[in-house]
Chain A
Amino acid sequence: MDLSMKWLNDFVYVGDKSIKDFCYDMTMSGSKVEGYTPEGKDITNVVVGKVLSVVPHENSDHLVVCQVDVGLEQLQIVTGAQNVNAGDYVPVALNNSTVLHDGKPVKIKNGKLRGVESNGMLCSLDELGLTIHDFPYAIEDGIFILGDDCDKTLGKDIKEAIGFNDTTVEFEITSNRPDCLSVLGLAREAAATYGIKRTLREPSYNGVDGNIDNELSVEIQNPKLCSRYIAGIVKNVKIEPSPRWMRERLRASGVRPINNFVDITNYVMLEYGQPMHAFDLRYVNGSSIIVRNAEQGEKIVTLDGEERTLGEEMLVIADKDKPVAVAGIMGGEYSGIMSDTTTVVFEAACFDGASVRKTAKKLGMRSDASSRFEKGLSPKNCYPAIMRAFELVEELGAGEVYNTIIDRDCSQVNDNPVEFDPKWINSFLGTDIPESDMIEYLQRLDFEVRDGKCYAPYERIDIECKADIAEEVARIYGYNNIPSTIIKGVAEARRTPEQRFIKSVQSSMVSMGLNEIETYSFISPKYFDKISLDKDSKLRDAVKIINPLGEDTSVMRTTIIPSMCETLSRNYNYRNMKASLFELGNEYIKTAEGKLPNEPIRLCIGMYDSEGSTDFYTLKGVVEELLDSLSIADYDVKLAGNDCTFDEYSAFHPGRVAVLIKNGIEFGILGELHPLVQENYDIGTRTYIAKLNVPEMMTLADTDKTYKPLPKYPAATRDISLVCDEKIPVAVIEKTIKSAVGKTLEKVTLFDVYKGEQIESGKKSVSYSISMRSHDGTLTDEQADSAIKRVLKSLKELDIELRG
């Protein structure tokens, strides 16, 4: 809402406050000011002058030389304009003045034009930042010749002389306060803010005798969507520009002046917050106004020239044949005020906010009217608004107003007072405001307080309960006068086991040198192809956004892996030589139709190193260390195959991908990215990815730790080197050793894997250090050796031999 300060000062005088203070004070009492703009702030040192003479320029056919009286002196000014004559009053930009050129401020200095001295410039409207809407008698491309509605005192500052010296204050009005989308509403707020008086006047008009019922009928077919409709008639209208004061105020409010009737409807809307409409009676077929729902598919061409197709849920103002306006939003093109209009019908009505909002949204057209209606207006506001319109018609001499109106009022008026409970308000706010002060604050806002009840002014559709009254009191008292206290009582906070688990994952990852990333939860469906997901993978069945910003962010990710790949790719292409990243993020997995998806949290790890020191085992080492830190032990690692529960399996190198399994649960997958996938992501080096399911890991973690006594007796260690088929995973050998040694086994450490010379091809040599210890005494050599014998015997059954 753009507020004209001149207009505001008609009702409440705040001229003694600086504009900055005014903006601050209004903001702090609840009407937020976004900024303010003094009119013509770029126009300086331009004054009223009178052209004394105009003679042709000696060196130019299209220039003239003027002698101009600017009060204290007489100036010679050269101009190219053709519309200047001796005796004209014109805006004169003096030496060192600023005017606008193509909307930008430029300096004007004395100089010579084709050899003739020119000490200033005569200005057009454009150079002052105005248009012919502001001065309809001016011509578009010529000097602005001041009319009789201007102050012609020579040498007077032009902004003052032509009324271009208002200040516009831009308010951000919240959706609960449509009453403040009006000068009167803001005047009330300003008066309440400062605790000062404001001048209110009931609009009135004289009228001419005439029975409106003979000329027009009004029928409301849907009183739910139109609770009140008032119509009035103006005869013998004279369509002309409105007077300067009205044009000025409209301009300062950001509304372009058109003609007196259109201007009056806008003026009333701005002053009262009540949208109005004016029809030409000629175009109301059958002289009947019917407020009804549109027929499905019915069409109307609106004032902006667009053809709109209506739906049956939309409300229209119609005559007996066709819709003439979309209710509360915009009039029809053919019913508007024309230059030859003779009889005008004024409408002030109240339409249902939700319905207006829905219709405006569906038709994709919002107007100043719809933005007010959709927030909810009081049906009571129609009457004073139409009275004000009539008053203005008479004041402007624009026509003869009938002294009868049609008022179809279906509104249910209830005063609904709200309980006034000062004690509760203080206990709610934590304040100690005396009751009498509260009453005064409320009265400043035009509330009536009597018998323990508050009666809000009818425009205040937002006042419903005692908390609303508390807010009114608080904002006039001053939010920043509310004391600062500490919540009473003691509360103990704790993290949930899941939050703690996630924190420890984070800290393990960071301590192993991985950087955390945060990526978008929505991805492109194309990413499923990019990671080579199977055509019929269930992961392709993602939660879709109906109205995405673009395809790239159109589905919720069912797998976190593409987000990691994108990030690695970006880093690779930024020439970051090496990356080790992790993300803890959700996946979104569809459940039943109409139900919310599951949002399981995943840990994704991604790494590459262009210099080559990262390999599969680097990633595996990180995962092993993580699992160890989380007390997840005794899990199996196996080469992932087609039966893998992770559909992302296909994104990996088939020979370098492992699943982690414990208690039959596959809780993680890790491996090298498939070369083709790596290519899809434009990463020029081997890339490693792991995905671990956090909720599953939580269930697998052994959180009960008990202390094991430190060993009292020395360990016996034996090293063995074995030869076996190269395809046998070392995990098999390790398992065999563990079970063969039995409970004295302390640790099995693989220290060498060798293929090549001295080893038969197709075989490999693996070497282990086996450490054994008893808690009951020192192990004898015999005990240790016999354990090793058992080991070798078991291994032999698997064709694993001691290396000779």
Chain B
Amino acid sequence: MKDALLKIKSLAKDELSKVNDTKALEELRVKFLGKKGELTSILKQMGKLSPEERPVIGQLANQVRTEIEESLTNRVKEIKALMLQKKLKEEELDVTLPGSKVTIGKLHPLNIVLNEIEEIFMGMGFDVVDGPEVEYDYYNFEALNLPPDHPARDTQDTFYITDNILLRTQTSSVQVHVMEERKPPLRIISPGRVYRSDAVDATHSPLFHQIEGLVVDKSITMADLVGTLELLMKRLYGDDCKIRLRPHHFPFTEPSAEVDVMCFNCGGKGCSMCKDEGYIELLGAGMVHPKVLANCGIDPEVYSGFAFGLGLERIVMRRYGINDMRLLFENDLRFLNQF
């Protein structure tokens, strides 16, 4: 009987090693360990054994069962691993085939850059404020120290709706609304559409976007204006960016400045991009004119402030190297998809 057990053991091990799939393995398990299996049938003969032999054979039988079970388990693991390996190998893909198309849309480049500028200013505590595009003459000109027949009105060719209603030529009109409606301290930017009767070409559009900035508080200085613009330009163009202020004239600021940024192309040496200037004109700015403060009911003896106006198209075009402003309003998908 002992021999029979050992024979089963070696037979089982032998057959197990030859089996290569889980189904055959199951058959083997039934054959050796099942209720009608070979081991069971031997164990059924236990009763015929002497009391002395019974524990010895019993122990051996258990040992053989355990060993067969272990071999079986190991073999299952081995076969599963083999099969997995085979499956993985079969499933190999051409990873260079293109991915399935998921489409995400894009914001208009003007708004991509505007969002960035808004973030920069909100980080400095500037609220974003809107204002009407169709506007009274008063807000666009008169309150900004541009009375009727002021020569500076000539520089902004204006679309008129009636004698005293027009399409705003500058977002500066929002300054007046804000100062009328809120009390200092004020820190706002106001992006929006402005209109000038310029015929369409590569650098002109009768409609474009400006971003107005206004800060009014006690003891706001021109140095604060410089600091704010410097920060803006560094955020927009990197820490190496340098700005330069040139005296200029706007009726609603005094002192007034035009602000240039160092040419990105030549780093200030002068090239064809900056017309040999080394700098590129980017925006107008200045200290809010005391008359404008007074027009809006703010005492210029107590408060001071600064204001600036950025042309969004110019910044966007420079950012992406767009050489024709018309592209921004044509909305050709082949253009829009590039940003």
Docked CA distance A520–B159 (Å): 14
Q: Mark B85-107, 1 if CB is under 8 A from A, else 0.
A: 00000000000000000011111
Q: Which B residues lie within 8 Å of A475 (CB)? A: 247, 255
Whether A429 pairs with B134 at a CB distance below 8 angstroms is no
Docked CA distance A520–B133 (Å): 12
Q: With A430-B224, A547-B197 given, is the CB distance from A571 to B287 under 8 Å?
A: no
Q: Report A468 CB to chain B, min CB distance, Å.
A: 6
Minimum CB distance partner of B131 in chain A = A599
A588 part of interface (Cβ distance < 8 Å): yes
Q: Which B residues lie within 8 Å of A553 (CB)? A: 206
Minimum CB distance partner of A468 in chain B = B254
Docked CA distance A175–B147 (Å): 14
Q: Which B residues lie within 8 Å of A574 (CB)? A: 332-334
Whether B162 pairs with A467 at a CB distance below 8 angstroms is no
Whether B193 pairs with A521 at a CB distance below 8 angstroms is yes
Q: With A431-B223, A484-B227, A543-B134 given, is the CB distance from A29 to B247 under 8 Å?
A: yes
Whether B247 pairs with A479 at a CB distance below 8 angstroms is yes
Task: Tell me the residues in window 110-124 of chain B with beta carbons closer than 8 Å to chain A beta carbons.
Answer: 110-111, 121-124
Q: Report A677 CB to chain B, min CB distance, Å.
A: 19
Whether A596 pairs with B135 at a CB distance below 8 angstroms is yes
Whether B108 pairs with A518 at a CB distance below 8 angstroms is yes
A495 part of interface (Cβ distance < 8 Å): yes
Docked CA distance A82–B162 (Å): 65
A364 part of interface (Cβ distance < 8 Å): no
Q: Which B residues lie within 8 Å of A576 (CB)? A: 332-334
Task: Tell me the residues in window 196-222 of chain B with beta carbons closer than 8 Å to chain A beta carbons.
Answer: 197, 199-200, 206-207, 215, 217, 219-222
Q: Mark A540-559, 1 if CB is under 8 A from B, else 0.
A: 00011111110001001000
Q: Mark B153-186, 1 if CB is under 8 A from A, else 0.
A: 0110001111001010000000000000000010
Whether B151 pairs with A357 at a CB distance below 8 angstroms is yes
Whether A571 pairs with B331 at a CB distance below 8 angstroms is yes
Q: Report A389 CB to chain B, min CB distance, Å.
A: 26
Whether A549 pairs with B199 at a CB distance below 8 angstroms is yes
B127 part of interface (Cβ distance < 8 Å): yes
Docked CA distance A30–B135 (Å): 32
Task: Tell me the residues in window 240-266 of chain B with beta carbons closer than 8 Å to chain A beta carbons.
Answer: 244-249, 251, 254-258
A198 part of interface (Cβ distance < 8 Å): no
Whether A174 pairs with B331 at a CB distance below 8 angstroms is no
Which applies to chain B's interface (DSSP): helix, strand, loop or mixed?
Answer: mixed
B60 part of interface (Cβ distance < 8 Å): no
Q: Report B22 CB to chain A, min CB distance, Å.
A: 34
Q: Which B residues lie within 8 Å of A588 (CB)? A: 133-134
Whether B227 pairs with A546 at a CB distance below 8 angstroms is no
Docked CA distance A482–B128 (Å): 28
A720 part of interface (Cβ distance < 8 Å): no
Stretch at the interface among A403-411, A507-515, A667-675, A795-803: A507-515
Q: With A479-B247, A491-B187 given, is the CB distance from A546 to B134 under 8 Å?
A: no
Minimum CB distance partner of B226 in chain A = A484
Number of A-B contacts (CB under 8 A): 238
Whether B122 pairs with A493 at a CB distance below 8 angstroms is yes
Q: Report A175 CB to chain B, min CB distance, Å.
A: 4
Most chain A CB within 10 A, of B167, B207, B333, is at B333
Q: With A467-B255, A482-B223 given, is the CB distance from A487 to B105 under 8 Å?
A: no
A72 part of interface (Cβ distance < 8 Å): no
Q: Which A residues lie within 8 Å of B333 (CB)? A: 515, 571, 574, 576, 579, 581
Q: Which A residues lie within 8 Å of B121 (CB)? A: 493
Q: Which B residues lie within 8 Å of A571 (CB)? A: 331-333
Q: Report B174 CB to chain A, min CB distance, Å.
A: 13
Whether B219 pairs with A427 at a CB distance below 8 angstroms is yes
A492 part of interface (Cβ distance < 8 Å): yes
Q: Report A447 CB to chain B, min CB distance, Å.
A: 16
Docked CA distance A32–B248 (Å): 8
Q: Which A residues lie within 8 Å of B244 (CB)? A: 480
Residue of B124, B155, B224 touching A485 (CB-CB under 8 A): B224
Task: Tell me the residues in window 472-517 of chain A with beta carbons closer than 8 Å to chain B beta carbons.
Answer: 474-475, 479-480, 482-496, 499, 506, 509-517
Minimum CB distance partner of A492 in chain B = B125
Docked CA distance A470–B227 (Å): 18
B49 part of interface (Cβ distance < 8 Å): no
A567 part of interface (Cβ distance < 8 Å): yes
Q: Which B residues lie within 8 Å of A567 (CB)? A: 331
B228 part of interface (Cβ distance < 8 Å): yes
Q: Which A residues lie within 8 Å of B122 (CB)? A: 493-495
Docked CA distance A544–B167 (Å): 11
Docked CA distance A353–B153 (Å): 13
Whether B257 pairs with A518 at a CB distance below 8 angstroms is no
Residue of A479, A489, A546, A596 touching B217 (CB-CB under 8 A): A489
Q: Mark A174-207, 1 if CB is under 8 A from B, else 0.
A: 1111000000000000000000000000000000
Q: Which B residues lie within 8 Å of A30 (CB)? A: 246-248
B136 part of interface (Cβ distance < 8 Å): yes
Task: Tell me the residues in window 27-48 of chain B with beta carbons closer than 8 Å to chain A beta carbons.
Answer: none
Docked CA distance A751–B257 (Å): 66
Q: With A570-B332, A574-B334 given, is the CB distance from A482 to B245 under 8 Å?
A: yes
A428 part of interface (Cβ distance < 8 Å): yes
Residue of B151, B207, B220, B290 touching A374 (CB-CB under 8 A): B151
A277 part of interface (Cβ distance < 8 Å): no
Task: Tell me the residues in window 512-531 of chain A with beta carbons closer than 8 Å to chain B beta carbons.
Answer: 512-522
Whether B104 pairs with A545 at a CB distance below 8 angstroms is no
Docked CA distance A582–B248 (Å): 40
Q: Report B332 CB to chain A, min CB distance, Å.
A: 6
Whether B125 pairs with A545 at a CB distance below 8 angstroms is no
Q: Mark A452-472, 1 if CB is under 8 A from B, else 0.
A: 000000000000011110110
Q: Which A residues lie within 8 Å of B133 (CB)? A: 521, 586, 588, 599
Whether A599 pairs with B223 at a CB distance below 8 angstroms is no
Docked CA distance A466–B125 (Å): 29
Q: Which B residues lie within 8 Å of A544 (CB)? A: 161
Whether B331 pairs with A581 at a CB distance below 8 angstroms is yes
Docked CA distance A484–B245 (Å): 12
Residue of A374, A427, A483, A519 touching B226 (CB-CB under 8 A): A483
Q: Mark A276-320, 1 if CB is under 8 A from B, else 0.
A: 000000000000000000000000000000000000000000000
Whether A175 pairs with B290 at a CB distance below 8 angstroms is no
Q: With A353-B151, A357-B151, A375-B151 given, is the CB distance from A519 to B223 under 8 Å?
A: no
B322 part of interface (Cβ distance < 8 Å): no
Whether A28 pairs with B246 at a CB distance below 8 angstroms is yes
Q: With A493-B126, A499-B128 given, is the CB distance from A513 to B104 under 8 Å?
A: yes
Task: Tell me the residues in window 394-444 of chain A with beta carbons closer than 8 Å to chain B beta carbons.
Answer: 427-431
Whether B221 pairs with A428 at a CB distance below 8 angstroms is yes
Q: Report A681 CB to chain B, min CB distance, Å.
A: 14
Docked CA distance A159–B107 (Å): 59
Residue of A428, A543, A586 touching B161 (CB-CB under 8 A): A543
Docked CA distance A513–B136 (Å): 39
Whether B111 pairs with A487 at a CB distance below 8 angstroms is no
Whether B103 pairs with A513 at a CB distance below 8 angstroms is yes
A165 part of interface (Cβ distance < 8 Å): no
A665 part of interface (Cβ distance < 8 Å): no
Q: Report A748 CB to chain B, min CB distance, Å.
A: 29
Whether B249 pairs with A479 at a CB distance below 8 angstroms is no
Docked CA distance A567–B335 (Å): 13
A98 part of interface (Cβ distance < 8 Å): no
Q: Report B170 CB to chain A, min CB distance, Å.
A: 15
Supplied contacts A522-B206, A546-B159, A571-B331, 7 more A-B pairs, CB within 8 Å: A354-B148, A429-B221, A495-B128, A521-B193, A521-B195, A567-B331, A582-B105
Instruction: Please give the residue numbers on chain A whose beta carbons come within 8 Å of chain B beta carbons, in ascending order.
Output: 27-30, 32, 174-177, 353-354, 357-358, 374-375, 427-431, 465-468, 470-471, 474-475, 479-480, 482-496, 499, 506, 509-522, 543-549, 553, 556, 567, 570-571, 574, 576, 579-582, 586, 588, 594, 596-597, 599
5 intermolecular pairs with C-beta atoms under 8 Å apart: A354-B149, A487-B124, A515-B336, A522-B207, A549-B200
Query: 8 nearest interchain CB pairs?
Result: A430-B223, A491-B125, A430-B221, A471-B255, A30-B247, A174-B249, A513-B103, A354-B149
